[in-house]
Amino acid sequence: MTFGLPTMVGMADEVVLRDGTIRLAVSSHGAEPQSLRAPDGTELLWGGGAPWKRHAPVLFPIICRVPEDSVVVAGDRYPMPQHGLARDHDFQVIEVGGDRATYVLRTDSTTLDHYPYDFTLAVAYTVADGTVTITYDVENNGPSEMPYSLGWHPAFRWPLGEEGEHVITFDEREPAPFRRVADNLLAPQEHESVVIDRRLVVRRELFDDGAVIMTDVRSRGLEYRSPDGHGLRMEWEGFGGITVWTTGPDKPGDLLCIEPWAGSPAPADFSGELVDHPGTAVLAPGARARHVVRVTPFRVETD
């Protein structure tokens, strides 16, 4: 895929998109959403600040950490920050309209210091019919195979509405064991699924030992709902896993991250080349991959 001349070029601090019902604000720093308001004005995204300063970052080209905080490519070692490069880079705004915006990150001297590949990462946001659609296009512009992982790390408000039992309901049963991380590297132990009859009841003690990492889910959609009927539906394409996380008991926050992942953290004992990292996608020269997330806020009247 080749991106043509932009309809708008710049480093806009924030773009606000509307469709008459929902409102999405996105920063060019990390191409990261800052706010998502439902039709009734309810804010769905965590506001940033302590104990977690971000809102909904893009994770690329790794998820979590790699051993020694570095990747090996063709025998050479490159430093790699946690969750990769994208979330801390300014993206170029190449298209802006009332209901859509597209952001692009391309290889430059700063990315080559960490990730020695010629890539383009485009993130397009569209709001229409009460739904936010996020399209991630990853392109390999170089002459060799390009390994990468991609994730979206949105922090939704918890509680989303009134206090009480919040539930994530998956479209399919999810009996597979889940994993944890230790020092943000994938731990080897498997744990019995916490999704019962498609429902994951959100409890703080569930996260005392960190994130719930479901590396291979059957579902391609879920709903997150509060007891007073505030909620959202999330659907995804090109993502194989879902991770659920909040800050730990030492720094509790009113946020719940529900994260589509294409890839997984590196195992703690992994020492090979990035291309051999378990779960990593590999793009052929000139190839492009697309990943899509849709988020639809809703409100169900309750008695």
- Look at residue 10 in the predicted model and tell me its pLDDT: 40
Q: Is the pLDDT of residue 235 over 70?
A: yes
Neighbouring residues of 148: CB distance < 8 A, sequence distance ≥ 6: 60, 61, 119, 138, 263, 280, 281, 283
| Mean pLDDT, the chain, integer | 94
Q: Is the pLDDT of residue 174 over 80?
A: yes
CA dihedral 40, 44, 48, 51 (to 10 degrees): 130
| DSSP E strand stretches across 160-250 | 166-170, 181-182, 185-186, 199-202, 212-214, 221-225, 230-237, 241-245
Q: Is the pLDDT of residue 164 over 70?
A: yes
Map out the domains of the chain with their CATH numbers: 14-46+54-299 (2.70.98.10)
Neighbouring residues of 74: CB distance < 8 A, sequence distance ≥ 6: 116, 273
Q: State if pTM tops 0.75.
A: yes
- Look at residue 303 in the predicted model and tell me its pLDDT: 65
Determine the Cα–Cα distance for residues 204 and 147; give it in Å rounded to an integer: 35
- Look at residue 12 in the predicted model and tell me its pLDDT: 45
Determine the Cα–Cα distance for residues 268 and 180; give it in Å rounded to an integer: 11
Give 9-59 pLDDT, tens digit per residue. Answer: 344 489 999 999 999 999 999 999 999 999 999 999 999 999 999 999 999
Of 104, 105, 106, 102, which is closest to residue 124 (Cα–Cα)?
A: 102
- Look at residue 9 in the predicted model and tell me its pLDDT: 37
Q: Is the pLDDT of residue 224 over 70?
A: yes
